[in-house]
Amino acid sequence: MECKILDGKKVASEVRERIAVMVKEIRESGKVPPGLAVVLVGDNPASKVYVGQKEKACKEVGFESFLYHLPEATTQEELLNLVGQLNEDPNVHGILVQLPLPKHLNETEVIEAIRPEKDVDGFHPMNLGKLVAGLPCTVPCTPKGIMHLLEYYGIEIEGKNAVVVGRSNIVGKPVAHLLLQKNATVTICHSRTRNLEDITKEADILVVAAGRPHFITQHMVKKGAVVVDVGINRLESGLVGDVDFDGVRLRASWITPVPGGVGPMTIAMLLENTLEMYERFS
């Protein structure tokens, strides 16, 4: 059995092309285009790379991109004031505050300050609550991208055993609920899970967001499983995922590469969320 690639780069490119066509039509009609505001506090190298990628993607599809790069010493009050201004700005349809923030700032308070209808990341408690309840909401970009990728390649979810390794509010919990909504039987594992290997071996669909390089190895994966690697770890050898790609692909039926898998999908879904917010305003 040959393992096939869940090519996030290819699928994301198609999403971006579709959005670019729609934005071109919006601009040609004389309307204000979708606008995304990105707030970066400090000089975290990884965050600067991510913000650069998001800004470039915005320009490619024709969005207005508003970048606010604040100094490391920015106070909570200053950051909240900026968020408040962006909430009121009619040209800004989506607001993204790049995480992690410097340690002296309260991330929860900042996320809650963003209006839910402009919360392009889908991290606001109101959006997460609606997601859990199965109500229409802004879905966090990475989980949304994972589901889009599975759907694109015709991966059957209903009735399957899905195991999610990682329980963050950004990936683990939301993707577990999205899989549940598609009628998978879902297990969430984390750092305190006992006998992790016994559980991952039962997974028809394995989503790994553990933040540990090469954490999932070949002997932890069921033959024929679909493996989605959310991890992005920077080693001297380059970028690697949370899954030992070379070993696991010998057992999996489908697998996402790192880079080129989930990462491009996250940015594509950020653009899609921004467009959806814009359409709600229009």
Catalytic residue among 54, 144, 173, 182: 54
pLDDT tens digit sequence for 87-131? 999 999 999 999 999 999 999 999 999 999 999 999 999 999 999
Q: Please tell me the predicted confidence (pLDDT) of residue 236.
A: 84
Q: How remote is the C-alpha of 104 from its chain's centroid?
A: 25
Overall size of the chain counted in residues: 282
Closest CA to 229 of 58, 115, 246: 246
Q: In angstroms, rounded to a whole number, what is the distance separating the alpha carbons of residues 189 and 172?
A: 9
Q: Is the pLDDT of residue 185 over 80?
A: yes
Using one digit for the tens of pLDDT, what is the confidence trace for 191-225? 899 999 999 999 999 999 999 999 999 999 999 99
Average pLDDT over the chain reads: 96
- Whether 98 is catalytic: yes
Highest CATH level, class, for 29-116:
alpha beta
> Boundaries of CATH 3.40.50.720 in the chain?
141-263
pLDDT at 112: 98
Residue 41 backbone phi and psi in degrees, to 5: -110, 125
Which residues are documented as binding site for NADP(+)? 166-168, 232
C-alpha closest to that of 155 among 205, 199, 230, 207: 205
Assign residue 235 a region: left if phi > 0, alpha if psi is -120 to 50, beta otherwise? beta
Residue 282 has pLDDT above 80, yes or no: no
Which CATH code fits 141-263? 3.40.50.720
* Per-residue pLDDT band at 237 (split at 50, 70, 90): confident
- 8 A C-beta contact, residue 262 and residue 9: no
Q: What is the chain's percent helix, strand, coil content, to nearest 5?
A: 45, 15, 40
For the chain, percent of residues with pLDDT exceeding 90? 95
State the pLDDT confidence band at 172, using cuts at 50, 70 and 90.
Answer: very high
Mean pLDDT, rounded, for 1-10: 95
Query: What's the pLDDT band for 238 if we cut at 50, 70, 90?
Result: confident
Residue 156's pLDDT is 98
DSSP 8-state code for residue 211: S
Residues with Cβ within 8 Å of residue 15, at least 6 apart in sequence: 148, 268, 269, 271, 272
Choose, from 121, 229, 242, 244, the residue flagged as catalytic: 121
Write down the catalytic residue from 98, 119, 160, 204. Answer: 98
Identity of the amino acid at 23: V
SS3 114: coil
Has residue 265 got a pLDDT over 90?
yes
CA angle (211 as vertex; 209, 214 as ends), nearest 5: 90
Helix or strand run (H / E) with residue 274: helix 262-281
CATH 3.40.50.10860 in the chain is located at 29-116
pLDDT of residue 84: 98
Look at strands 238-240 and 233-235 and give their pairing.
antiparallel
Q: What pLDDT sits at residue 115?
A: 98
Residue 182 appears among annotated catalytic residues: no
Measure CA 162 to chain center: 18
Q: Could you list the residues known to form a binding site, using ranges.
A: 166-168, 232
Please report the beta strands in the chain, taking only residues with DSSP state E, as ranges in sequence order.
Answer: 4-5, 35-41, 64-70, 94-97, 161-165, 185-189, 205-208, 226-229, 233-235, 238-240, 254-255
In this predicted model, what pLDDT tens digit does every residue of 30-78 receive, in sequence order? 999 999 999 999 999 889 989 999 999 999 999 999 999 999 999 999 9
d(CA 242, CA 219): 14
